[in-house]
């Protein structure tokens, strides 16, 4: 399993039956492929509906996901306008959001929307999602392409939100913020604690129950 | 607002365009953007526009066409990353861009149309979005005071209208359109079909016709 699919399969284990979930574009869209049997979730698409599904067959006019790409919808889908969509998001009606990250720090701060002078795409719905969702999971590769740490003592990129992250899933490790402390709870198969320490700048605790991820074969 | 709602040709919109005007445009990655009206704005030659909407489309689609043709002075949007030309002009200093969280943008426009002086949101607290804004704390939660947004013109895309201007939308093309219908001095909707009054189920109307000043039957342009 490659890094992205490993991360997606681990994040899928965090989702409970009945959850309303908003998935960011990219890696998080792989997560529904790994839902455990009996887990049914409803996907919220911030461009204005509940009931997002993968595209099957020919695209329908005027049906796209939050990346602007054609998608499907489940029976029982509901459409609404953008003010309602973000009332749902900010109002705590979304159980889980899973987004990518550029940096997360040990104070649960997230930076994922701009690199000053280089990449300024805008925050889209990310700031509202991270602020309003009941549980915020950051799914990202553990280090930058150059091998630099992304889990830091303090984010140096502009923040998406302060103190809102609940979990971080990478191809090496799974962390939770427990009583405000960044805590390693799982290691990826075959990954040693020493490697995680070497690739993580942040201070973190190691849970007494820390164990290897239990992933599907 | 007189009834029935007046049906316009694209060319009849021209007197409503002027240099330096502000325009609210519906759509999310150009889905729900009235592309025929965007083309008419381009062909009219107006410039120094302030565009307010979710994004600038992707590489020349939707309002990206106006950006690419240097008609735009300022963009207020939540995301410009799919239209590289918007980013290029912003970094080159040719275009002013205000990036606003998507939920905040929607609610600012809703306030603009709903007679409200602003609202309090936790979104953006602790980020550069709070720069220059009033911060208030209630029950231990920090909020930013966000102000309403209105514009001179709103351009909408709807699926069906009746002669009174009542609108229904199609799927994800609804997005910002119903919110913007309330927040401009002149509101025009490009629609796929116009039916007689009574031809739409009143229970299913999303935008009441009193908010819509002009209807245009969509044509390939």
- Domain membership flag for residue A217: no
- Domain membership flag for residue B26: yes
- Domain membership flag for residue A16: yes
Buried b (16+ CB within 10 A) or exposed e, A135-167: bbbbbbbbbeeeeeebbbeebebbbbbbebbbb
- Domain membership flag for residue A81: yes
Q: Residue A217: what pLDDT?
A: 74
Q: Residue B69: what pLDDT?
A: 96
C-alpha closest to that of A104 among A176, A172, A197: A176
* B residues 9-68 closer than 8 Å to A (CB): 28-32, 54-55, 58
- Domain membership flag for residue A66: yes
Q: Residue A216: what pLDDT?
A: 84
Residue A46 known to be catalytic: yes
- Domain membership flag for residue B17: yes
Low-confidence ranges of chain B (pLDDT < 70): 1-3
Q: The domain containing residue B16 runs over which residues? A: 6-116+147-217
How many Å lie between the alpha carbon of B64 and the closest alpha carbon of chain A? 14
- Domain membership flag for residue B138: no
- Domain membership flag for residue B24: yes
Question: The domain that contains B167 carries what CATH number?
Answer: 3.40.1080.10
Q: Cβ–Cβ contacts within 10 Å for residue A37, how many?
A: 4
ipTM: 0.96
Mean pLDDT over A9-35 rounds to 96
Whether the CB-CB separation of A20 and A95 falls below 8 Å is answered with yes
C-alpha closest to that of A186 among A203, A169, A201, A202: A169
**Residue in B79, B103, B108 to test binding to A, most A beta-carbons within 10 Å:** B103
- Half-sphere exposure of residue A23: CA atoms within 13 angstroms, side-chain side: 22
Using CB atoms within 10 Å of the CB of residue B219, give its burial: 0 to 12 exposed, 13 to 18 middle, 19+ buried: exposed
User: A26 vs B77, B105, B200, CA distance in Å?
Assistant: 21, 24, 39
For A107-151, the pLDDT digits (tens) are: 999 999 999 988 889 999 999 999 999 999 999 999 999 999 999
- Domain membership flag for residue B133: no
User: B140 vs A5, A89, A90, A166, B143, CA distance in Å?
Assistant: 40, 20, 17, 20, 10
Question: Structural domain tally of chain B?
Answer: 1
- Domain membership flag for residue A7: yes
- Domain membership flag for residue B57: yes
- Domain membership flag for residue B54: yes
- Domain membership flag for residue B140: no
Residue A68: which of B31, B109, B178 has the nearest Cβ?
B31
Using CB atoms within 10 Å of the CB of residue B217, give its burial: 0 to 12 exposed, 13 to 18 middle, 19+ buried: middle
Say how far apart CA A206 and CA B23 lie, in whole Å.
54
Q: Is the pTM of this model over 0.80?
A: yes
Measured distance between the N- and C-terminal CA atoms of chain B, rounded to whole angstroms? 29
Question: The domain that contains A125 carries what CATH number?
Answer: 3.40.1080.10
Q: Residue A149: what pLDDT?
A: 98
Measured between CA atoms, the residue of chain B closest to residue A111 is B127
Q: The domain containing residue A72 runs over which residues? A: 3-212
pLDDT band (50, 70, 90) for residue A43: very high
> Omega before B33 cis (within 30°)?
no
DSSP string, A91-107: TT---EEEE--SEEETT
Mean pLDDT of chain A: 96
Q: Chain B contacts of A73, Cβ < 8 Å?
A: 171
- Domain membership flag for residue A145: yes
Q: Residue B1: what pLDDT?
A: 46
Say how far apart CA B28 and CA B53 lie, in whole Å.
8
For A161-195, the pLDDT digits (tens) are: 999 999 999 999 999 999 999 999 999 999 999 99
Question: Structural domain tally of chain A?
Answer: 1
pLDDT: is B60 or A77 the higher one?
A77
Measured between CA atoms, the residue of chain B closest to residue A159 is B127
Q: Provide the token pair at B124.
A: 């953006």
């Amino acid at each position: 399993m490659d890094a992205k699919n490993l991360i997606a399969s681990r994040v899928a284990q965090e989702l409970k039956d009945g959850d309303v979930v908003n998935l960011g574009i990219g890696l998080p869209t792989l997560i529904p492929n790994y839902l455990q049997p009996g887990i049914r979730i409803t996907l919220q698409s911030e461009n204005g509906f509940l009931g997002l599904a993968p595209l099957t067959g020919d695209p329908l006019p005027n049906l796209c996901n939050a990346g602007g790409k054609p998608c499907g919808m489940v029976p029982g889908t509901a459409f609404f306008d953008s003010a309602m969509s973000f009332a749902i998001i900010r109002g705590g009606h979304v159980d889980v959001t899973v987004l990518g990250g550029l940096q997360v720090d040990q104070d649960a701060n997230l930076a994922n929307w701009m690199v000053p002078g280089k990449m300024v795409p805008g925050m889209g719905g990310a700031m509202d999602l991270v602020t309003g969702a009941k549980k915020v999971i950051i799914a990202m590769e553990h280090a930058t392409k150059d091998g630099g740490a992304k889990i830091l003592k303090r984010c140096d990129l502009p923040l998406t939100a302060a103190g809102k992250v609940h979990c971080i899933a990478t191809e090496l490790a799974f962390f939770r913020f427990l009583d405000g402390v960044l805590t390693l709870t799982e290691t990826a198969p075959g990954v040693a604690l020493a490697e995680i320490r070497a690739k993580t700048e942040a201070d973190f605790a190691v849970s007494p129950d820390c164990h290897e991820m239990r992933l599907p074969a | 607002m007189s009834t029935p709602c007046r049906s316009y040709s694209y060319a009849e919109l021209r007197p409503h365009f002027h240099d330096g005007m502000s325009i609210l445009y519906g759509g999310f990655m150009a889905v729900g953007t009235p592309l025929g009206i965007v083309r008419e704005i381009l062909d009219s030659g107006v410039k120094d526009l302030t565009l307010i909407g979710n994004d600038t489309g992707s590489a020349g689609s939707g309002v990206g066409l106006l950006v690419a043709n240097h008609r735009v002075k300022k963009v207020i949007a939540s995301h410009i990353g799919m239209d590289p030309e918007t980013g290029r002009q912003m970094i080159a200093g040719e275009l002013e861009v205000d990036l606003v969280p998507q939920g905040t943008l929607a609610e600012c426009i809703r306030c603009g149309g709903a007679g409200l002086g602003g609202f309090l949101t936790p979104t953006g607290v602790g980020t550069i979005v709070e720069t220059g804004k009033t911060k208030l704390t209630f029950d231990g939660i920090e909020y930013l005071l966000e102000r309403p947004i209105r514009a001179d013109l709103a351009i909408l895309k709807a699926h069906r209208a009746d002669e009174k201007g009542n609108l229904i939308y199609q799927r994800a093309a609804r997005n910002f359109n119903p919110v913007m219908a309330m927040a401009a001095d002149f509101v025009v909707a490009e629609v796929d079909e116009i039916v007689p009054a009574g031809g739409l189920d009143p229970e299913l109307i999303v935008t009441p016709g009193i908010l819509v000043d002009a209807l245009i039957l969509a044509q390939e342009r």
